[in-house]
Amino acid sequence: MNRERAERQLALVRQTLAAAGYRGIPLRLRCGWAMDFFLGEVTRDHGDIDWFAWSKDSVALAALLSRVGHTPVPGPPPGLRLDFVEDGLDSSFTLVDRDTAGRVVVAGGPWTGTPWPEGLLAAEPGRIGAVEAPIVGPLAQIEIKRMMPVWDPSRPRRAKDVEDIARLEAAVRRR
Whether the pTM exceeds 0.85: the reply is yes
pLDDT at 151: 85
Query: Mean pLDDT, the chain, as a whole number?
Result: 95
Q: Which of 174, 142, 175 is nearest to 157 (CA)?
A: 142
Give the CATH number, domain containing residue 125: 3.30.460.40
Give the residue numbers spanning the domain of 114: 3-174
CA distance linking residue 29 with residue 136, whole number of Å: 6
Q: Which of 63, 66, 36 is nearest to 49 (CA)?
A: 36
Q: How many residues does the chain have?
A: 175
pLDDT digits (tens, 9 = 90+) for 115-128: 999 999 999 999 99
CA distance linking residue 66 with residue 68, whole number of Å: 6
Is the pLDDT assigned to residue 149 strictly greater than 90?
no
Count of structural domains within the chain? 1
**Three-class HEC string of 73-136:** ECCCCCCCEEEEEECCEEEEEEEEEECCCCCEEECCHHHCCCECCCCCCCCCCEEECCEEECEC
